[in-house]
Structure 1
Amino acid sequence: MPPQTVNRKSAREVFVTDHAPAGPDEFVIAVRVAHDHPLWSDQRAQTHDPAVVIEAFRQAFVLVRHEYLGVPRGTPTAVQQLTLAVHEPHAFRADGTTPLQGVIKVGVTRTDDILDIVGDFLIGSVPAMALSFRSVLFPQDSYREIRDYQRSRRAGRTVDMDGPPEARLIGPELVGRRTRSNVVIGPAAQPNRFPLVVDRSHPSFFDRDYDHVPATLLIEAMRQSALLSAAETGLRTGEALLTRAELDFGMYVENDVPASCVVSANGHPGRVIASVGIDQADVRVASGIVELTEINP
């Protein structure tokens, strides 16, 4: 698909390859993610990354609302709630040379300016994962008013970070990554509180211009913070997948105001459930739970 169809700039960041209606308010979207994608194939675990399906689902949502639901391009939107559940973790196994390919089947319900999209991701014939978004549509004027108000609440909190982003990162091996530039948190300044490191030059998280931190980066920060905390319970972070999430996004996160991810993990070796939250300017702006599960070699 052309990148602009799913609000991307780079063709490498487009994961939707085809689409078709399947019934009233039901749609089928084909997905393909390259085996060597610099972000989404950077797992230390020998698996495809279920989190990339969140981005594919977002792209499917963009396509459906514009191509089928008549929402004008450029209409501001915000995801308020997100859920995912991996039903078949072993379906995500990777050999290092084969792309992740599958089909997203979705249904959409619209109530005024609220859109609910619920679907399944199938790898071959296997229902590997279920996802849902609740998103709100904003008129342009309303969006500008909301953003001006939210920025005004954090006026005076902006800072210039010292040094390049990569100088403030933890080691990638601690959070199941290979590449340092894909780490989005720094060492804990307080117990179980990890500062967000926002690199606006990152080619995947910031493939287009945002006036806020994109949700994909926030979700990755939550996962990385949970992995780091879960390691204390004995979880082998290099073999762990994100297998469940229930997340709420209450406010936009500013690019230039310090933020941190707060996490509390509990469980046992092999499976951990963590409560996570994003704080900025003394406000909890996102929260929820994530589940991490080891996939045995």
Structure 2
Amino acid sequence: MSLSYAATVAREYVHRRAVAEVFVTDTSAAGEPGTDGTYRVAAQLPRGHLMQEGPVLDYSLLVETVRQAAVSVSHRHLGIPLGLAFLFRDLDVEVDDPDALRVGARPAHLEVGTTIEAQRTVGGRVTGVRFSGRVFVDGRLALTGQGSLMVMTPAEWKSLRELGRRHSVSAAGPLSQSAPSPSAQPPSTQPPSPARPRTVGRRDPRNVVVSRPVLVGRRRAESLLHVDTGHPYLFDHPLDHAPGNLLLEAARQSAAAAVSLAHGGPQPAGLVVLACTGSFDAFVELDLPTQVVTEVAELTKRGALTACSTRTSILHAGRVAAQIDLTMGVTA
């Protein structure tokens, strides 16, 4: 059965407030609905989206499409009720064909073929979903990936947030980790100023989410998370913590700047994400400082592209709240 791209699904099925931020247009079950199995999801990415600045489809929007695919299937086919909270736990995505991600003359039509496995209690209630699959862009295989989401009731969410908040507030103070950076400074009462867009691979200043990255030693760049809760995409609806897509974007911007600084080029705007592996282990509070630290490896070859592996740690309240490994490729 063919999938439809005529209209988006209801925004509640992908946990978005703005209709314009809904990318999924249709879903279908390859097997028996309501069971673990393979599903197909159609999505359309607009060319004029705020985050879409370069000649290739923005990786943040691609990850968001994968998230929306998993959430929409969970609600529409697995019977998970609306009103539950979904929390990103981990993600592993690799670009199979960089040329398939180039922005064309019309909105990109994506098809996600995904296998969903639900984690259930003895009583049958779903507490999480694990997904894996492939993303096709206008018929061409572009991405392969997997990940997992935690599913919680409102009461469970409230309890988890209260616990996370208490830990973060009690641990607030100079940012630290097991091997503190000698350059780490005590948190400031003033929010950090955003970097200049071109230094982190962005054009629109509204999309900058880190302060100016500073090279420490030869291969380490440090900055602070810059949070704008009025951003229409990153904060589509009110949140009491920094969302995963904000942390992923911070890692991308920090990595682009770090590769350019550590290797004397290429320009950050000429770097795209070829692979992403991320784990999210703690909440990042909006009113406490967060450090973004990226370690850079040597330049290598990845097919016809020059590439560089990076590891970004999101340091918050004395611990690593998230770790995101990116492979950055030079396209320009």
TM-score by length of 2: 0.82
Within 5 A, what are the aligned runs for 1:224-263? 224-232=253-261, 233=263, 234-263=265-294
- Number of equivalent positions: 289
Q: Which residue is equivalent to 2:240?
A: 211
Q: More deviation in 245-254 or 110-119?
A: 110-119
The residue type paired with residue 315 of structure 2 is D
8 Å contact from structure 1 (residues 50, 243) kept in 2: no
Do residues 119 (structure 1) and 123 (structure 2) align? no
- For 1:230-261, what per-residue CA distance to the aligned partner results, in whole angstroms no more than 9, with x for missing partners? 00223332222111011111011111111011
Within 5 A, what are the aligned runs for 1:19-58? 19-24=27-32, 25-39=37-51, 41-43=52-54, 46-58=55-67
The residue type paired with residue 108 of structure 2 is L
The equivalent position to 1:14 in structure 2, one of 1, 4, 22, is 22
The residue type paired with residue 26 of structure 1 is T
Query: How far apart, CA to CA, are the structure 2 residues paired with 1:76 and 1:47?
Result: 31
Give the superposed CA RMSD: 2.0
Q: More deviation in 21-30 or 222-231?
A: 21-30
- Alpha-carbon shift at residue 140 of structure 1 (Å): 2.8
Unaligned segments of structure 2, at least 5 residues = 1-8, 121-126, 174-186, 301-305
Q: Which residue is equivalent to 2:180?
A: none
Query: How far apart, CA to CA, are the structure 1 residues paired with 2:144 and 2:59?
Result: 11
The residue type paired with residue 75 of structure 1 is L
The residue type paired with residue 29 of structure 2 is P
Query: How far apart, CA to CA, are the structure 2 residues paired with 1:124 and 1:286?
Result: 33
The equivalent position to 1:109 in structure 2, one of 117, 126, 132, is 117
Query: How far apart, CA to CA, are the structure 2 residues paired with 1:205 and 1:161?
Result: 23
The residue type paired with residue 240 of structure 2 is D
- Alpha-carbon shift at residue 60 of structure 1 (Å): 1.1
- Alpha-carbon shift at residue 190 of structure 1 (Å): 7.4
The residue type paired with residue 18 of structure 1 is D
* Secondary structure of residue in 1 paired with 2:20: helix
8 Å contact from structure 1 (residues 189, 195) kept in 2: no
Q: Which has the higher contact order (CA 8 A, sep 6+)?
A: 1
- Alpha-carbon shift at residue 143 of structure 1 (Å): 2.0
* Secondary structure of residue in 2 paired with 1:155: helix
In structure 2, the CA distance between the partners of 1:189 and 1:236, relative to structure 1 (3 Å rule), is closer
The equivalent position to 2:196 in structure 1, one of 171, 177, 190, is 171
Do residues 193 (structure 1) and 222 (structure 2) align? yes
Q: Which residue is equivalent to 1:144?
A: 158
Q: Which residue is equivalent to 2:91?
A: 82
* Secondary structure of residue in 1 paired with 2:12: helix
| Identical-pair percentage | 25
Within 5 A, what are the aligned runs for 1:60-79? 60-79=69-88
The equivalent position to 1:100 in structure 2, one of 105, 108, 120, is 108
Do residues 277 (structure 1) and 310 (structure 2) align? no
Do residues 288 (structure 1) and 324 (structure 2) align? yes
* Secondary structure of residue in 2 paired with 1:224: helix
Q: More deviation in 210-219 or 142-151?
A: 142-151
- Alpha-carbon shift at residue 183 of structure 1 (Å): 0.5
- Alpha-carbon shift at residue 142 of structure 1 (Å): 2.4
* Secondary structure of residue in 1 paired with 2:169: coil
- Alpha-carbon shift at residue 101 of structure 1 (Å): 1.8
* Secondary structure of residue in 2 paired with 1:154: helix
Q: Which residue is equivalent to 2:296?
A: 265
Query: How far apart, CA to CA, are the structure 1 residues paired with 2:138 and 2:88?
Result: 28
- Alpha-carbon shift at residue 189 of structure 1 (Å): 6.4
Query: How far apart, CA to CA, are the structure 2 residues paired with 1:107 and 1:222?
Result: 27
The residue type paired with residue 210 of structure 2 is I
The residue type paired with residue 15 of structure 1 is F
Query: How far apart, CA to CA, are the structure 2 residues paired with 1:31 and 1:174?
Result: 32
Query: How far apart, CA to CA, are the structure 1 residues paired with 2:199 and 2:326?
Result: 17
* Secondary structure of residue in 2 paired with 1:174: helix
The residue type paired with residue 217 of structure 1 is L
8 Å contact from structure 1 (residues 50, 92) kept in 2: no
- Alpha-carbon shift at residue 161 of structure 1 (Å): 5.4
* Secondary structure of residue in 1 paired with 2:237: coil
Query: How far apart, CA to CA, are the structure 2 residues paired with 1:81 and 1:185?
Result: 22
TM-score by length of 1: 0.91
